Amino acid sequence: MSKPALYLSAASTISHQPTFGNPGFSAALGPVEASSALISPDYKAYIDAGLLRRMSKILRMSVACAKDCVGQAGIGQPDAIVVGTGLGCLQDTEKFLNTSLTVEGLLPPTSFIQSTHNTMAGQISLSLGNHGYNMTHTQNTLSFEHALLDASMLLREGDRHVLVGAADEHIDILDDIAGRLAFKSDAPLTSGASFFMLSAENQGNAKASLADVYTSGGAGYGQEEIDAFLDRNGLQPGDIDLLLYAGTPAAGVPVQDAKRSLDYLSLIGVYPTASAFALHYAMDLLGANSEVRNVLICNTLRKSNLGLTLLKAVEA
């Protein structure tokens, strides 16, 4: 039985591409360059200078996107804040660990406090003055999908608006680690943060409808899971106007009969929660192209994990 749809009314992404404050970006986005850098907005427009100086890259990205998103949605306060992150606050973790190698006495408090994965959700809450439910999910490459599932359950239990998003940051040592692990990808390792306002009802400003989310992790996925997901949503592969998938799965493109397929890692680079960018990309495309009705995001970044997110155009 299909569940009632939820509605996405706002989205904000800071990445290596011109995504922030740039509606319609999906039409002009080319492949991300290996030499690209994070495109940061003027953070002072979103974060108090006193707080900003203590914030690492991932915190700045997350808080700025979250505040931008709340502003776009025109909602005073969301009922809950839910964040997904694969690797958490790496910059502060690295700083804290490096200092612990060289300093014997007191260790730096700021980087210690801010090295935990739930710092983003906490800082967003402090910046907004929000006292609602505050949760962080870290499930490797499925962290964002788990945040979406949590947000969806909250809305189906009575919440009206949930701020949900994901962020991961690149630090130099990741390139070294990726090399040692023989990680191969055509796309570079990058940073990114994407936040969304997910609501139980369409207030007239919904840009897309979130129809379903599914995760499967740990043992490798099979094509039958994707088929079952489409089936439970009353869709055939040919009904998918756009398939967004991660990388080049060994088994080939996950839904062969989709009308159009695109590897979203080629646009945004590789980070554990890159599927959050794919959701924003799909929203942006649905808002600009009336011929696109159904978008399936197939998160196959890690071969043992499968994340499926189905987005639909909002019915007029």
Nearer to other proteins, 112 or 214 (CB): 112
Residues lying near other proteins in the complex (CB under 8 A): 49-50, 52-54, 99, 102-110
Q: Give the separation between CA 287 and CA 72, rounded to whole angstroms.
A: 15
Minimum distance from CB of 258 to other proteins (Å)? 46
> Edge-to-edge, what's the strand order for the sheet holding 133-137?
133-137, 80-84, 161-168, 192-199, 6-14, 208-217, 305-312, 294-299, 242-245, 261-263
> Which residue's entry shows tokens 């800082």?
123
28 or 106: whose CB is closer to other proteins? 106
Task: Report, in Å, the least distance between residue 103 CB and other proteins.
Answer: 5
Q: Which is nearer to other proteins, 35 or 102 (CB)?
A: 102
Shortest CB 109 distance to other proteins, Å: 5
Q: Report the nearest approach of other proteins to the CB of residue 172 (Å).
A: 18
Which tokens in the block code for residue 245? 């998938």
Minimum CB distance to other proteins smaller for 77 or for 110: 110
Q: Which is nearer to other proteins, 108 or 249 (CB)?
A: 108
CA distance 254 to 246: 10
β pairing state of 305-312 and 208-217: antiparallel
Q: How far is the CB of 108 from other proteins (least distance, A)?
A: 5
Burial of 269 (0-12, 13-18, 19+ CB in 10 A): buried
Q: Give the distance from CA 311 to its chain's centroid.
A: 14
